[in-house]
Structure 1
């Protein structure tokens, strides 16, 4: 069963421990390795900034453009359809073959099946109270909407 880790939403209790962080530099390196594996290029990279809980990039390859998302707290990678680097609800796609370049660098590549799963289908025990307050407020339908959000 997939487990959502404490802080994955980008929220924490005021007195809670600091959240882990995936530096944009680490994500950038993964994007360039993946683009090489795809025989393509990185079009652009956008660093996570409030209120987004993720970094994003667009990689252009011979078979089209894909948006790559990286949770800013955990090295979790997801793919969304052709886009401009901004997540659109329910736009997740299956990881391409070249996504193995991210896995080789220690990232966890999330399947579309996991991303589209309801929260009730995954382990949420580690989520903090502050995260549940946001989840109750924003009502995300899926794991993907929870992990890759722009809540404020």
Structure 2
């Protein structure tokens, strides 16, 4: 299980180094999604650093809405984005593995990720590594 405190610390650290501003943390508290988001605003765009709740893995994606006022949530695969300076800063942080879009959009090999439950693989049929690591499965 990844520490929310460590995830927040990491987001603030990379934000300082890349000239952005941490504007919001969307923490997954229920069964879905299986990831947290740290929204970082830059002059011309906002991105989300996503962190799996169960693994120390990070990626950069388009921000997703977890909870609306009426309880609805977005679901489906994330759109991973390439922000080289942010990715490089994340890679310098200890304790996390950082993935880039080309890795996450590539095929999922279940033998490389034994923590992903076989029943989830059979039911959800993740086509990409990103779908297997960051998802809305219940």
Corresponding position: 1:96 with 2:84: yes
- 8 Å CA contact 2:60–2:83 kept in 1: the answer is yes
Report the equivalent of 1:71.
Answer: 52
**Aligned-pair RMSD on alpha carbons?**
2.1
Report the equivalent of 1:39.
Answer: 19
Corresponding position: 1:139 with 2:129: no
Query: Aligned partners of 1:85 and 1:95: how far apart in 2?
Result: 20
**TM superposition shift of 1:109:** 1.3
Moved over 4 A (4+): 84-88
Task: Please list every run of 5 or more consecutive structure 1 residues that lacks an aligned counterpart in the other structure.
Answer: 1-20
- 8 Å CA contact 2:27–2:35 kept in 1: the answer is yes
Q: What do the CA deviations read for 1:71-96 (whole angstroms, capped 9, x no partner)?
A: 11222111112x34557525111243
Report the equivalent of 2:114.
Answer: 127
How many residue pairs match? The answer is: 128
Report the equivalent of 2:102.
Answer: 113
Q: What do the CA deviations read for 1:63-122 (whole angstroms, capped 9, x no partner)?
A: 4111110111222111112x3455752511124313333222222210111100111xx4
Task: Please list every run of 5 or more consecutive structure 2 residues that lacks an aligned counterpart in the other structure.
Answer: 67-74
| Secondary structure, aligned partner of 2:126 | coil
| Secondary structure, aligned partner of 2:51 | strand
- 8 Å CA contact 1:40–1:59 kept in 2: the answer is yes
**TM superposition shift of 1:48:** 2.7
Query: Aligned partners of 2:134 and 2:64: how far apart in 1?
Result: 15
Query: Aligned partners of 1:70 and 1:85: how far apart in 2?
Result: 15
